[in-house]
Amino acid sequence: MKLPGMHTGFRDDGTWRNWAGNQVAHPVRVERPRSEAEVVGLVQAAVAEGRRVRVVGAGHSFSAIAVTDEVLVTLDDFASVVSLDRDSGLARVEAGMRLFNLNPLLDVAGLAMPNLGDIAYQSVAGAISTSTHGTGLGFQSIAAGVVGLRMVTADGSVLVCDEQTNPEVLQVARVGLGALGIVTEVTLQCVPSFNLRACEEVMDIDELLNNFDEYAENTDHTEFFWMPHTKNALLKRNTRTQEEPPPPRNRRHAARRKWKHFKNKELLENVAFGAMNHLGRLRPSLVPKFNAMMVPDEGSANYLTTSYEVFASPRRVHFYEMEYAVAREHGIEAFRQVQALIDTLDHPVSFPLEVRVLGADDIALSTASGRDTMYIAVHMFHGTDYEQYFRGVEAIMNQFEGRPHWGKLHYQTAETLATRYPGWGEFQALRSRLDPSGMFTNEEITKVLGPVG
């Protein structure tokens, strides 16, 4: 399935911008391969020219992970399903396939991703390469479900990785930051399709924090959003089920249900929220009042629908984001310290904090590698200065050996990160083997991983 419209982020003058608009690239050329053979060809051409190569997915990373002034590759035209096998649950997809296109196709085949993040705009390769995750202590990140990869390495060869062929490479390369080669195909282990019974409830933040461990341990997928400068938070608990959603009683009821969904997801979460953020940027003193309006003192919602429709929501209000992963046992303390930090900032914060939990995995550079994890994400409205806030948050997370989301803003370096991942040395050894000349590096990769070798 091809994506509608133009290639995301590319301008007529040859520049590229990410979704948030805070990263800009001026590549010497943009490559748009339609096949693995064309990927091999562009890598070989870059080698002959002595140029470096970076790949961009959907452009939803806030960091400079995709920025280059050399060769920039988009896989938007290399985004089809290779095969879906309902019996085995295996889905082979080209690397540029977007999650929001893949999810409905899986559903038709009776399959689903085991877990998803809160947006579905990313490409499959981009999502796994940056350790994109969902929530749920009994579940893992998207990359943990990868059972096969095809990748074009720095010498132009195609490396096949699965449980039988190069399994040691697969184990590491599932979260590769684009630093090991160009992923061309991903095989995902899916599960039978399922629905989610969603329960959303407004709670006092202190009560929520005191009971969060219980919620997280007794619900499949748990997360919450806290509005700064208020006492209110929105707790979301999603339970997996094979129960079917109730059919609408008649056309009027169906229209009313669609309107309610549109009102909650579009008018409140995007239109009204966007308007309040624009006003709040002009009049910061109004932000606490607006925040209280977005999450009232009480309220709840319960609904049942397809898993991917519950996991992911549209995000049309642009922002900047930092997200940190800390060991689950330190998560609540880290969150409370961020709460205290917000009260000391020069400007009020108009975006909610998002908190999720995830089970441990064994991928070298996964943010959940070796430990059950709590994720704390902070945001600032587009065009608003975030430096004081984000640096303060990072200082807190450093106390807890926090790991930054690879696609979001942070100030870490290879020196500060090396001790935070048990598989760091393993990843670096594979990087030296597959890309000894640093073809797939840029300034951001050199900053966070160091020079090759």
**Inside any domain, residue 360:** yes
Structural tokens at position 309: 């429709």
Length of the chain: 453
Q: What is the pLDDT of residue 5?
A: 34
Domain housing 238: 195-404
pLDDT in tens, 249-285: 655 555 445 434 543 554 355 656 667 766 677 677 7
CA nearest neighbour of 426 among 47, 120, 171: 171
Read off φ and ψ for residue 316, nearest 5 degrees: -105, -10
Structural tokens at position 380: 């600032």
**Inside any domain, residue 393:** yes
Q: What is the pLDDT of residue 441?
A: 98
pLDDT in tens, 360-374: 999 999 999 999 999
- Beta strand segments in 205-258, E: 221-226, 232-241
Number of domains in the chain: 1
Q: What is the pLDDT of residue 193?
A: 97
- Give the 3-state secondary structure of 138-172: CCCCCHHHEEEEEEECCCCCEEEEECCCCHHHHHH
**Alpha-carbon separation of residue 59 from 24, 68, 108, 121, 195 (angstroms):** 10, 13, 27, 9, 29
Q: What is the pLDDT of residue 286?
A: 67
CA nearest neighbour of 55 among 122, 101, 3, 144: 122
> CATH code at 394?
3.40.462.10
Low-confidence ranges of the chain (pLDDT < 50): 1-7, 255-256, 258-260, 262-263, 266-267
**Inside any domain, residue 253:** yes
- The amino acid sitting at 74 is T
**Inside any domain, residue 124:** no
pTM of the predicted structure, to 2 decimals: 0.92
The Cβ-side half-sphere exposure at 139, using a 13 Å CA radius, reads: 26
Q: What is the pLDDT of residue 247?
A: 76
**Inside any domain, residue 251:** yes
**Inside any domain, residue 77:** no
CA nearest neighbour of 124 among 107, 104, 153, 101: 101
- The amino acid sitting at 18 is N
**Inside any domain, residue 52:** no
Q: At which residue do the structure tokens 């074009």 appear?
A: 152
